[in-house]
């Protein structure tokens, strides 16, 4: 907590979900938070909610799919506080449907927001970090950015892109001995945020999270920890951790299970009108950290049960530990 007092933290997508929770947690730790979102009114509510906390919050209306908006966000942070210590690219949108039935413009906007928005934020953040020789960049990928998910094609593509971007940036920093700058990738599974309420839908169904659905505080705490002890990649949620391990052991089986569970989850949902959700324009609803999915849908199942991997899980862990040991030996030989 003391490490974060006075730090300058930029957070995009701060009007709800992980971003809102992280903004409150950092401000409570005495950090100076620059909170960005398309919803200025909701940001002002966040500012009022945090007025008695240790840290200061400055709100900036920002559409991360627009390069000029992200550049202005960076300039605002620098004009207010003189530096940026931590930048969190959290803003994201999604749309659900058969690939060719989702309007192409919607696919494009998902990519602009999730991937290009992260590219823009990373660009301006790293430019500042390199001038100072230090800084922490935290980018939000997803479990769907490691294992593709049906009906979420452009969302998965964008999150795979974020993960690839981060890998490339870490290698670049390492090769140039820029040890004071860190790039962290967070890969959440399904969490109880308004994301699903905000998602576009073209299946004639309400968008549903893929169970199990976890408390978003787990991701908020992970972001908070990475700001003090950065790591390269962190999967959050047991399903994400175990699923990632199984994918390395049995990729085809894992993809089949992912497809089956996503299909079942979406097709069992209640009927609803097709909508673009918040892909193009922000919605007035869903302004909390939580989305209410865990309470209303009763989807708190164990990851092993949902994935159908209770037996292979332990074996996967053992084999992966052995493979990592072998990889480490190989790397030591190369070095």
Strand partners, 275: 201
pLDDT 10s digits, 269-313: 999 999 999 999 999 999 999 999 886 554 444 444 445 544 445
> Poorest-confidence range of 91-100, 128-137, 194-203, 246-255?
246-255
Mean pLDDT of the chain: 91
Domain boundaries, the chain: 2-334
Q: If DSSP states are collapsed to H, E and C, what string results for the chain?
A: CHHHCCCEEEEECCCCHHHHHHHHHHHHCCCEEEEEECCHHHHHHHHHHCCCCCCCEEEEECCCCCHHHHHHHHHHHHHHHCCCCEEEECCCCCEECCHHHCCHHHHHHHHHHHHHHHHHHHHHHHHHHHHHCCEEEEEECCHHHCCCCCCCHHHHHHHHHHHHHHHHHHHHHHHCCCCCEEEEEEEECEECCCHHHHCEECCCECCCCCCCEECCHHHHHHHHHHCCCCCCEEEECHHHHHHHHHHHHCHHHHHHHHHHHHHHHHHCCCECCCECCCCCCCCCCCCCCCCCHHHHHCCCCCHHHHHCCHHHHHHHHHHHHHHHHHHHHHHHHHC
**Residue 222 pLDDT more than 60?**
yes
Q: Quick check: 166 pLDDT over 80?
A: yes
CATH number for the domain whose boundaries are 2-334: 3.40.50.720
Structure-model confidence comparison of residues 241 and 153, the more confident one: 153
Cα→Cα distances 286→15, 19, 282, Å: 9, 13, 10
**From the candidates 151, 155, 214, 247, which is the catalytic residue?**
155
State if pTM tops 0.95: no
Note the pLDDT of residue 314. Answer: 46
Is 155 a residue of the active site? yes
């Amino acid at each position: 907590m003391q490490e974060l007092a006075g730090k300058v933290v930029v957070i995009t997508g701060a009007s709800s979900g992980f971003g809102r929770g992280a903004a409150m947690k950092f401000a409570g730790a005495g950090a100076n938070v620059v909170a960005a979102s398309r919803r200025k009114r909701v940001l002002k509510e966040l500012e009022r909610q945090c007025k008695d906390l240790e840290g200061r919050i400055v709100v900036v209306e920002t559409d991360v799919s627009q390069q000029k908006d992200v550049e202005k966000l960076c300039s605002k942070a620098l004009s207010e506080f003189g530096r940026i210590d931590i930048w969190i690219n959290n803003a994201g949108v999604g749309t659900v449907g058969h690939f060719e039935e989702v309007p192409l413009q919607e696919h494009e906007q998902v990519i602009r927001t999730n991937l290009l928005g992260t590219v823009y934020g990373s660009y301006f953040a790293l430019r500042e970090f390199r001038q100072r020789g230090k800084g922490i960049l935290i980018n939000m990928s997803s479990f769907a950015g490691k294992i593709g998910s049906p009906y979420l094609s452009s969302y998965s593509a964008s999150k795979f892109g974020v993960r690839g971007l981060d890998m490339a940036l870490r290698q670049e920093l390492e090769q140039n001995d820029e040890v004071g700058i860190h790039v962290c990738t967070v890969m959440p599974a399904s969490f109880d945020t308004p994301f699903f309420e905000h998602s576009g839908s073209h299946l004639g169904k309400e968008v549903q999270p893929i169970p199990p659905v976890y408390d978003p505080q787990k991701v908020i705490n992970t972001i908070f920890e990475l700001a003090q002890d950065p790591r390269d990649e962190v999967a959050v949620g047991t399903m994400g951790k175990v699923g990632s391990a199984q994918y390395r052991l049995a990729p085809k089986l894992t993809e089949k299970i992912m497809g089956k569970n996503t299909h079942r989850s979406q097709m069992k949902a209640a009927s609803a009108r097709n909508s673009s959700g918040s892909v193009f324009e922000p919605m007035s609803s869903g302004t909390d950290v939580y989305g209410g999915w865990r309470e209303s849908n009763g989807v708190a199942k164990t990851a092993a049960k949902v994935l159908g991997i209770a037996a292979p899980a332990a074996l996967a862990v053992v084999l992966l530990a052995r493979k990592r040991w072998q990889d480490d030996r190989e790397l030591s030989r190369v070095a």
